[in-house]
Amino acid sequence: MQAISKQADIKRTWRDGYLSSSQLEIMQIPDPKYLIHGLLPDEGLVLLKGKPKEGKSILAMQFAIAVASESEIFDAQAEKMRVLYLSYEDKERLVKYRMNKQCNGEHFPPLLDWHMSWKAIDDGGAEDLRACLFEQKGIKLVIIDTYGKAIKGRKRDDFSENYQFLGALKNLAHEQKIVILLIHHDRKGASVDDNHLEDALGSQAIVAAADCIISLKREKRNAEGLVFITDKFDGDRKFKVRFNNETLCWKYEGEADEYENVSDKQREIISLLKEKPMRSKEIAKELKKSLRGTQRALSSMKKLIREQNGYYNLIPQDEPIIF
């Protein structure tokens, strides 16, 4: 951990970094930039997560190829930068197979480098990463696949320990002005309807420490999926993707309607509640439906909240989560 957060040997006091509000107000700070517009910021710790075998590594490879070749992904343009992919799980045979598919007969991008046997980040790998960044100039995106394999002897459920470690990794990213993309698993019981910020495997410190969280969700054996993004500056975004078995790529299918996967009856209820909160009896009367059927529909809708006074209301979906 000390190796990750190691800084230049300069004696610092509390005066270093002391800033008044007046100084902050007149500071010229550029707007946030992106490696991939609207997807990957150009600096910081990014968490890419999803359940096992859902296609996280394939998506990360798409990000890597897009950045290394200055191509588009999900209708967004990538900046041309050097990429280092630390593959702790997949070895040369599988990586080459996937690269051949995704590159579709084209040469592999020369700005994309690989390592299949990197040391654990907390057992010498951090020192090696710092040395590599110094020697191999121009690396802008480092992908660590996966967090569970990249750490050694660290308690997955210990918030303080994970937050301190990931905070140091985040500081390294900002110090070196790079993006560290950390791939991690969601817990097995997580569903598409769950809040994507709450379903990471292990401690919530893994989510809390990140500058940006990207979640890939899909039902088992379903080619269609959803990508959720929570960014400190841009708030929340959700869009649809579809997996192509021939190219081994996720394809952008457009921005997601938060109420698209609901029945006609549920959609009618949503239309009523957008106007004002209502009780179940009032909803049944407006829809000319039975009270029991209406109550059954209400109980199955996860985007509603029932107040203590019996009124149903929509859970706000358009307010960005700032953390």
* Exposure b/e, 284-302, CB count within 10 A at least 16 = b: beebeeeeeebeebbeebe
Please answer whether residues 197 and 287 qualify as being in contact, where contact means their C-beta atoms are separated by less than 8 angstroms: no
**CA–CA distance, 269 with 246 (Å, rounded to integer):** 41
Whole-number Cα distances in Å, 310 to 41, 170, 212: 43, 45, 37
Token pair in block for residue 66: 């897009």
SS3 call for 296: helix
CATH for 30-255 (3.40.47.10, 3.40.50.300, 3.30.420.40, 3.30.70.270): 3.40.50.300
Per-residue pLDDT at 13 exceeds 60: yes
Please answer whether residues 49 and 56 qualify as being in contact, where contact means their C-beta atoms are separated by less than 8 angstroms: yes
As a whole-number percent, the residues of the chain with pLDDT over 70 amount to 90
Alpha helices (runs of H) in 70-125, residue ranges in sequence order: 92-103
Q: Which fold has domain 264-314?
A: Arc Repressor Mutant, subunit A (1.10.10)
Q: Is the dihedral of CA 311, 314, 319, 323 positive or negative?
A: positive
pLDDT value of position 318: 47
| pTM summary value | 0.78
pLDDT tens, position by position, 166-176: 998 999 999 99
Please answer whether residues 183 and 49 qualify as being in contact, where contact means their C-beta atoms are separated by less than 8 angstroms: yes
pLDDT tens, position by position, 272-320: 888 889 999 999 999 988 898 888 888 877 678 888 788 998 876 544 4
Q: Within 13 A of 12's CA, how many CA atoms are on the CB side? A: 8
- 30-255 with 264-314: one CATH topology? no
Residue 175: closest CA among 213, 212, 142, 214: 142
Strands, E, within the chain: which ranges?
34-36, 40-41, 44-50, 72-73, 76-77, 82-87, 112-115, 139-145, 179-185, 212-217, 224-231, 235-244, 249-255, 304-306, 312-314
The residues that bridge with 142 in the sheet, in sequence order, are: 84, 180
Q: How confident is the model at residue 196 (pLDDT cuts 50, 70, 90)?
A: confident
Between residues 13 and 69, the one the model is more confident about: 69
Q: Which residue bears the tokens 């951990």? A: 1
How high does pLDDT run on average in the chain? 87
SS3 call for 86: strand
Please answer whether residues 34 and 43 qualify as being in contact, where contact means their C-beta atoms are separated by less than 8 angstroms: no
The residues that bridge with 235 in the sheet, in sequence order, are: 231
**CA–CA distance, 113 with 142 (Å, rounded to integer):** 10
Domain spans of the chain, in order of start: 30-255, 264-314
